Amino acid sequence: MKILMVSSEAVPWAKTGGLADMVSALSISLANLGHDVRIVIPRYYNIDRSKLDLLPEAMGTPMGGGVQEWSAVYATDMPCNDKKNPVKVYFIDHEIFFGRDGIYGNAIETDFIDNSRRFTFFSRAAFQLCRKIKWYPDVLHAHDWPAAVAPVYLKFAERVPGARGEFKKTVSILTIHNLGYQGIYHKDNFDYAGLGWDVFYNGGFEDWSMLNMLKAGLYSADKINTVSPNYAKETMTQAHGFRLDGVLRYRNADYCGILNGIDTEVWNPSKDKYIPQTYSVKDMEGKAVAKKTLQKEFGLPQNPDVPIIGMVTRLTDQKGVGELFGPTYGSAWSICRDMDLQMILLGSGEYWCENEISGLTSRLSNFRAKIGYSEKISHLIEAGSDFFLMPSRYEPCGLNQMYSLVYGTLPIVRSTGGLVDTVQNYDEKTGDGTGFMFEQLNPSSIYNTAGWAVWAYYNRPKDIAQMQKRGMTKDFSWESSAVKYVELYEASFKAQGMKAPTGNKYDAPDISDTVLQKPKKETVKVEPVKETPKEESPKKEKAAPKKTSAAPKEKKAAADKPKTAAKPKTAAGKPKKSEPDKSKKASAPKPKKPVAKKN
Ligand code: ADP
């Protein structure tokens, strides 16, 4: 199959989070399966043009109001990729839209005022790129709100009677990486898209009289998915749906979750270039060396016997930092004060949180943090820690818990999103499990579960060693996820009444376990429009008001409110079927917990 990834991020060129890792890793895995995969991203200011090949002639992209946007197109091959079947990467170089510092915003303007136009143009330019290189994809795979308008163009401008027809056999997929970010802007921006105003309503843009880019993509893509099966279920509930749960329930038949993989070349303790000594499940000496190096790096006593809880995180509300570091409220202070452990953090983000963390480091002798971004230190933390803490409010997939597991570092996580799909809670009776989980997001749950993990460290070392082994032998490689994406692509053709193109070199196995509901007949009833962007009547453009792309913060689910610690419930408010007793453990204070602090 010919697959075009339309994304605002891809490593190694542009990254703000897991999206960038996923787009490149999935593309490489699909290419390894024999598919012709290409990626298109914007050429941001800090992407060095001199390392790319310039394609001849400028590219024109027709937008609304008769505007023709001119851009250059650069190309290169994905590094470290199979030279026989490389993933080609194209860069749309539009100086006014992308020749600035920042992907979506900067320190002063956190959400660029013209983001709606920047990424609507980018989505349209993806089609022009195909025309320019005379390569037409079977599958257009868009990612998150910045590319969500591409499936809308496919459905309402390119795959309609009267259109030029190059994309009439193309199907579209939209992957949600984080439903909390939707690209909501003033509707005056819509004229620029060059789609008729009927598409504003039929195409799903309309959102309380604003323009919602992600919502339009969710209405218009042939199939939609998110990055873990459990997050797919959660997003169809009011608690986690960020107001789009109704849309997702409406598209239920076309919606599924496919777990992200991890890059096992980069995140692998037996190959890791960033750690002082590699190690494996058969020889764990390197982990002890990493622990010592980590303690030294952070200026902590080099004691091999004290457990380390590590964290690598964006310091944002999504990651539960309020419950951990909120002044006078968060539990990090009491965890470090009461328990015999060391706590280490690498992260950056919200100013108040960075400040609070700096304050804690000066008041606690066993808490150390580095504010910033460092690939090297993040590897060292994964390798050298005993536990890895992720008290996420919500987590579409989460990568760090998977890294932790394969590095023999036990995750302490909240039961949400992809964390549920990847971590199994510790069972004291059997010794089973791969980590420690809690249901409610509140400071005492985090405190109690950290205490439980530390208690197990001191009192159940055999269980801890078994859990490490279990985690280290888990398969989180991209290969199996890529196969599931191919199955999803094939299901899209079926849903459109088209035959999936043949010629790919393998037979995709069944992924019925990841599809929440078997695809049934297309139920979206929208009127196709015939006009092309050029035919739009010009309208005066107004400057969009400054508006964050993030959706209004979700209301705390009733089940998320602190209740009695002894009776936790699932995020949906019901007792968890699969783990009847374990959640009790997760929130119940451990009497045997070693709380005697040495320093
Ligand atoms: P999200 O995409 O929501 O931030 P994920 O767990 O899916 O969360 O992915 C985050 C990625 O970014 C991981 O690879 C993580 O190690 C990395 N990361 C986050 N903060 C930092 C940091 N300060 N330094 C190095 N890597 C970081």
Amino acid at 82: D
CB 502: neighbour CB atoms within 10 A?
Answer: 6
C-alpha angle 400-435-471 in degrees, rounded to nearest 5: 70
Cα distance between residue 463 and residue 441, in whole Å? 26
pLDDT at site 461: 98
Pairing assessment for the beta strands 206-207 and 210-212 based on DSSP bridges: antiparallel
Distance CA 435, CA 425 (A): 5
Q: How far is the CA of 203 from the centre of ligand 1 (A)?
A: 33
Which atom of ligand 1 is least distant from the CA of 178?
3
Atom of ligand 1 nearest to the CA of 19: 2
Residue burial 454-478, b: 16+ Cβ < 10 Å; e: rest: bbbbbebeebbeebbebbbeeebbb
What residues does ligand 1 touch, defined as CB less than 6 Å away? 17-18, 21, 312-314, 346-348, 373-375, 378, 397-400
Ligand 1 atom, smallest distance to 399 CA: 6
Is the model's pLDDT at 557 over the cut of 90? no
| Alpha helical stretches, state H, 331-436 | 332-338, 351-363, 375-384, 400-406, 417-422
Dump pLDDT digits (tens) for 174-202.
999 999 999 999 999 999 999 999 999 99
| pLDDT mean over 253-265 | 94
Kindly state the tokens that stand for 370: 């580095």
Judge contact between 579 and 449, C-beta under 8 A.
no
Residue where the block lists tokens 């964290």: 311
Query: Ligand 1: distance of its center to the CA of 537 in Å?
Result: 44
| Residue 167 binned pLDDT confidence (cut-offs 50, 70, 90) | very high
Buried b (16+ CB within 10 A) or exposed e, 295-315: bebbebeeeeebbbbbbbbbb
pLDDT tens per residue across span 304-351: 999 999 999 999 999 999 999 999 899 999 999 999 999 999 999 999
Q: Distance from the CA of 501 to the center of ligand 1, in angstroms?
A: 36
Nearest CA to ligand 1 atom 9: 18
The per-residue pLDDT for 91 is: 98
CB contact at 8 A, 438 and 414: yes
Instruction: Determine the atom of ligand 1 nearest the C-alpha atom of 348.
Output: 23
Average pLDDT over residues 438-447: 97
CA nearest neighbour of 181 among 223, 243, 126: 243
> Probe ligand 1: pick from 21, 24, 297, 313, max atoms within 8 Å of CB?
313
The Cα-based distances of 254 to 205, 325, 520 in angstroms read: 19, 40, 8
Residue, of 528 and 385, whose pLDDT is higher? 385
Q: What proportions of the chain, in percent to the nearest 5, are helix, strand and coil?
A: 35, 15, 45
Q: Are 74 and 91 in contact (CB under 8 A)?
A: yes
As a whole number of angstroms, the distance between CA 503 and CA 492 comes to 17
Residue from 177, 377, 400 whose mutation best tests the ligand 1 pocket (most atoms within 8 A of CB):
400
CA 400 to ligand 1 center in whole angstroms: 7
CA of 14 to the centre of ligand 1 (A): 13
Convert the pLDDT of each residue in 526-544 to its tens digit. Answer: 334 343 343 333 333 333 3
Is the pLDDT assigned to residue 564 strictly greater than 60? no
Residue 200 CB coordination number (10 Å): 17
| Residues 359-374 pLDDT 10s | 999 999 999 999 998 9
Query: How far, in Å, CA of 65 to CA of 192, rounded?
Result: 7
pTM of the full predicted structure?
0.82
Give pLDDT tens digits for 17-49.
Answer: 889 999 999 999 999 999 999 999 999 999 999
Q: How confident is the model at residue 503 (pLDDT cuts 50, 70, 90)?
A: low
**Candidate of 16, 314, 315, 409 to mutate for ligand 1, largest count of ligand atoms within 8 Å of Cβ:** 314
Q: Which of 397, 436, 422 is nearest to 307 (CA)?
A: 436
Rounded distance, CA 3 to CA 173, Å?
Answer: 10
pLDDT tens, position by position, 541-552: 333 333 334 444
